[in-house]
Structure 1
Amino acid sequence: MLTLGSGAALVFLIVTTPIAFIAAFNDLKRMKLPNAVVLTLAAAYVVVAPFVLPFEQYLWGFTHGVALYVVGIFLFLFAGVGAGDGKFAAAMAMFIPLADAGAVLMLFAAFLLGAFAAHRAMRAIPALRRATPDWVSWGHAKFPMGLALTGTMVSYFALAAFL
């Protein structure tokens, strides 16, 4: 059972979905998650969360963001994770109560496997590659993690809002 309230989850779903899809598109096309997208996601939390979360939970969100930012830096330095991916995950973490972290990690694992398989399958389709010839991710050795992060965030909010 997810602990994020359904009202807050629905508001977050509405506010963050466009930001998340812009992030995924940028990662597919350029293999980059721009700082402007990350800052927009963080700003959405700063502006919207005080109206839908208890104040203490709102403040804890900043701690979650900072903690994941430190983890993201470590993963960037030592595990080859993109800096933008780490920053986007840190901004995402602000929205997620600690009690839901396990569920979100399971969602992320599922989306990581599914998005990786789908991306590799799609890039093997010549018609799709011709339709999107300027997408860097088709020929890149690394995987556009923003795709999995987007799926995780949107599905988490949808599940919390509607279940």
Structure 2
Amino acid sequence: MQIPAAAAGWFLPFVLPICFYVAFTDMRDMLIKNHAVIALAGVFAFVGLIVIPPWTTDWSEGWIGPFAVTLPPYLWQLLHILVALVIGILANAAGVMGAGDAKFIAAASAFVWGGDYVTMMFILMSTTLAAFVTHRLAKNTAMRAIAPNWESWSRDKQFPMGFALGGSLAIYLILGTVYGS
């Protein structure tokens, strides 16, 4: 994995509670709260300054459209938020995903290193499948009695993606602490 193990280790204790909160509130209310998304972006903005400070790391070259740009890794990671947010807004406008999902993906994208996109997609696909099966199993069995008033139980054609998105980011960072560069 391309994410530095030390960076994943620093981010994990701050991000993990936010991921659990997002999964819980999305299942309970079918809503990813804005303050959770802001907290997630804030964790990267502040902890990232400590972990990958822009003034001490090697700058890397990349492309923004047709222009070659050289920036520190911290700023490249922050740019992920902008790109993912624009794509998420378009996906939301097309009715493909909820606005909260799009905002969470944008905030979470700062934590995913460019070389780990394929790995993250596999994590997201497997976590989404596992979360969907788990949610439907709980919804249609006696386990539903544990939380009988959750909004996600009554939505037949909708699924609380925060459950899968939060889990995916948590798994990525856990794996990053073990297998990171």
- Tell me the TM-score normalized by structure 1: 0.95
Q: Per-residue deviation at 1:69?
A: 0.4
1:11-30 equivalences in 2 (<5 Å): 11-30=10-29
- Counterpart of 1:3 in structure 2 is 2
Distance 2:145 2:151 in 1: 13
- Counterpart of 1:138 in structure 2 is 153
Is 1:73 the equivalent of 2:101?
Answer: no
Q: Per-residue deviation at 1:108?
A: 0.4
Distance 2:74 2:154 in 1: 41
Q: Per-residue deviation at 1:102?
A: 1.3
1:5-154 equivalences in 2 (<5 Å): 5-55=4-54, 56-126=72-142, 128-140=143-155, 141-154=157-170
Q: Per-residue deviation at 1:162?
A: 1.2
Q: Is the 8 A contact 1:32 1:84 kept in 2?
A: yes
Residue identity matched to 1:35: N
Distance 1:95 1:49 in 2: 9
Determine which structure has more spread, i.e. the larger CA radius of gyration: 2
1:26 counterpart SS class: helix
2:31 counterpart SS class: coil
Distance 2:25 2:170 in 1: 16
Question: Which structure 1 residue ranges, 4+ long, deviate > 6 Å from structure 2?
Answer: none
Q: Per-residue deviation at 1:71?
A: 0.9
Distance 1:158 1:131 in 2: 28
Distance 1:97 1:6 in 2: 12
Residue identity matched to 1:68: A
Q: Per-residue deviation at 1:79?
A: 3.5
Q: Per-residue deviation at 1:54?
A: 4.8
- Tell me the TM-score normalized by structure 2: 0.86
Distance 1:131 1:9 in 2: 33
> Once superposed, what is the RMSD of the aligned Cα atoms?
1.0
Q: Per-residue deviation at 1:53?
A: 1.6
- Identity in percent: 34
> How many aligned positions are there?
161
Distance 1:89 1:107 in 2: 14
- Counterpart of 2:64 in structure 1 is none
Runs (5+) with no aligned partner, structure 1: none
Distance 1:109 1:5 in 2: 23
